[in-house]
Structure 1
Amino acid sequence: MREIKIDAPAPADAQPWMGAKPDVARLLAPDAPPGSATMAPGAPWALCVTPPNASGQQFLYSSDAFPGRVYKLTLDGKVLGMLGKSGHAAKSFGWIHEIACPSENELYVAELLNWRVQKLSLKPAAAKTSTAGQ
C-alpha cells in the first residue's frame, strides 16, 4: 500500500459547497467538531490509475469533491496538473463521486449534485522545440 499526500490548498475564491452544507461528520460522530471529516477540501473521493502509455508510464487521477477539482499525479505523488472548480458549467463539478481514466488523456467524471457524467478529452502539453544554434 502506498500513501500519497497532496498539498494543494483550496483557492481563496473557491466555493466549496453548492446548496445546503451537510455536516456528515457530526451525524456520524456527534462529538466531532463542526466541518470535520471528509466535508472539506483535501478529501479525495475517487482515484483512478491509467493503463500504461506507449512509454510504459502510468498516472494517478485523484478527485477532490470540494471544491470540485481533479489532479493528475505521477505514481510517486508529484502533482502534474489540476482542473476544475465547483459549479454547473462544463469542466465545473458538483461533488465529484467517481472518475474513470481509460487513457492518460481521457477522463469520465461522475457528479452527485449535477446528476451527470462528463467526458473530458485532455490535451497533453505541446512539446517545445528549439532551433537555436542551427
Structure 2
Amino acid sequence: MTEMAGGCLCGAVRFTAQVHSDDAYLCHCRMCQRAIGNVSVAMVNALKAEVSWADEPSTYRSSPIATRGFCGVCGTSLTFAYDDSEKLDLLVGTFDDPSRFRPKHHFGVEHLHRNWLDTSGLPEYRVDEYQPIVDRWMKSVGKLPE
C-alpha cells in the first residue's frame, strides 16, 4: 500500500489516496465518454474511506445511481462513485505521478473505439520541441509547464 497525491489542473482540489495495487482500467461507456469528452477514461479503484481531500470536489449526479467529482474552478474530472459502494474511482491522470498504474482490463466495451487503442504507429511530437508553443509559453510566463 502506498499513499499517493493528486489533484486538478488549477490546484484548487487536492487529494491523497491509499493505493493498494498498480491495477487500473479503461472505461469506454458512453456516460464516461461524454463526462470526460474523450473516447475512454483511465481509472483506479480506491476505498472512499482511504481518500482524503484538502478541499472537497464539486459533484454532479450523472445518473440515478452515481456521482462524479470535479473541480468547480477548472472543471477537471476527478472521480466516479456509485452511491451504494464503499469504493470510488479516481482518474489516473489526476495523480501527481500516474506512471505507476497499468491497465488491467476494459469496461463498457460495447462503446469501445478500436482505432484509438493502439496508436503506436502514429508520429510522435514533443511539446518542448514545437516552437510555436514554446514561444507562447516563454512570452507568457518565461518557462514551459511541467
Which is richer in helix? 2
TM-score normalised by L of structure 2: 0.24
Greater strand fraction, Structure 1 or Structure 2: 2
TM-score w.r.t. the length of structure 1 is 0.25
